[in-house]
Amino acid sequence: MAAAADVALIAQVVKDLEVIPASARKMLCEGLPHAAEACAEVSNIHGMQYTFLNLIASALQDAKASAEKDVVARAAQGQVDSEELGRRAVTSEVAAEAFKAADAEVEAKAAAQAAAQVQAQVAEKKHSDAQRAGKSMAAAWQETRDALESATSATETVKVLVDGGCEHIQAKTAAVEEYLTGIKADRVLVAAATLALALQPEGRAPFDRMTAAHVAEVVEGKVAELTAKVAEVAPQEAEFNAEILGLWAIADCHRDAVKEADLALLEAQATQEAARDTLAKAHKDEKAAQKEMSGNAIQQCLVEEQIKQVVAALEAVERIKAGPPPAPPAVEEPEAMAASADAAVVPTEETDSGDVELQDGKEVDEPMAAKQAR
């Protein structure tokens, strides 16, 4: 039974040894039972069968040597893998820190962009409000300038009519009448001016000359009044226009700041995306290194276990070569052992009292050589 177990062990180990060609494994496994059977009966063993067992042992020794080299190589590779895993772990940590920094940078740029947008909106609102407020003021200022222009034109027309000798007297007189009505001059003056200015200077009565002179005085006074007003609002208008321009410039600067913030955010997001890709690759490489190291360690354990199996198979081969163990000595029955003892001490006819001597109070048999001498 023990030999059968050894044969099964050896056969299984040989079958699993891929380092031995498949045809050789088949040959060894098929011949093993015959060689082992011969060794079980030492008288029947043939030299070739014993040599066959040595061939199996040699193949196992070669496989063991190859496996031991593999273990050494895998141990060295394990050290390399461990160092590589350490480097990749450091790379992952660096990539994680870079991604964290990039993520924080994106948050900061997004906050800066939001702040820039708010500031731009505030600046644009101030500019828009100032523009709306300035429209009514600008209209009033323009109305004053238009009034001055009308007064100046009326003054020139009155002067021509007063001096006489002009053409289109009726149209010019109507224009003066319309202007005086527009500035709400005295109605009596308006009516008298129409008649007085329509006459040539030499045809005017004293009242007409006085009326023409008063009309010229009224119109010139209006020109002086409006000129003073235009001169008064000019600095205000210039200051206001400068303020509007300044608000526009401020709003435009904030608009540029928004564009810069948008660009900075896009760049930060691109950096963040690149950092995310780098981190993902670092994690992937680290997992690959971990898998490689684990796979190599598992294979090393398998090879070490295979070495143990090969050693056990070699021991089994040696047991088979040694043949069956010697049979244990036969055990006699108690009755037979007693009878044998009694037969040993019964005296024969050739035995006399001199054949037995006492030594130290014990009986001892006389040496056979002494008996033969007598």
Q: Per-residue pLDDT tens for 257-276?
A: 999 999 999 999 999 999 99
Token pair of 51 as six digits: 């040599």
Going by pLDDT thresholds of 50, 70 and 90, the confidence category of residue 235 is: confident
- Say which range, 142-146, 168-172, 323-327, has the weakest mean pLDDT: 323-327
Percent of the chain with pLDDT over 90: 43
Which pLDDT value is given to residue 103? 95
Inter-CA distances, 256 with 35, 107, 117, 118, 132, Å: 96, 20, 10, 13, 24
Mean pLDDT score, 52-80: 93
Which pLDDT value is given to residue 253? 95
Q: How many CB atoms lie within 10 A of CB 233?
A: 16
Instruction: Provide CB contacts within 8 A for 95, sequence distance 6+.
Output: 275, 278, 279, 281, 282, 283
Which pLDDT value is given to residue 151? 83
- Rounded CA-CA distance 173/185 in Å is 15
Which pLDDT value is given to residue 309? 94
Mean pLDDT score, 183-208: 79
Which pLDDT value is given to residue 369? 35
Which position has the higher pLDDT, 14 or 350? 14
254 within 8 A of 115, measured Cβ to Cβ? no
Which pLDDT value is given to residue 223? 87
Token pair of 275 as six digits: 């950092």
Place of tokens 């109305």: 143
Q: Residue 226: exposed, middle, or buried by beta-carbon count in 10 A (0-12, 13-18, 19+)?
A: buried
Going by pLDDT thresholds of 50, 70 and 90, the confidence category of residue 189 is: confident
- Rounded CA-CA distance 359/346 in Å is 20
Which position has the higher pLDDT, 51 or 233? 51
Token pair of 44 as six digits: 């029947």
Q: Would the pTM count as exceeding 0.95?
A: no
Angle, helices 206-322 vs 22-40, to 10°: value is 30
* Whether residue 364 has pLDDT greater than 80: no
Token pair of 133 as six digits: 């407020």
Q: Read off the pLDDT of residues 285-320 as tens digits, 9 standing for 90 and up.
A: 999 999 999 999 999 999 999 999 999 999 999 988
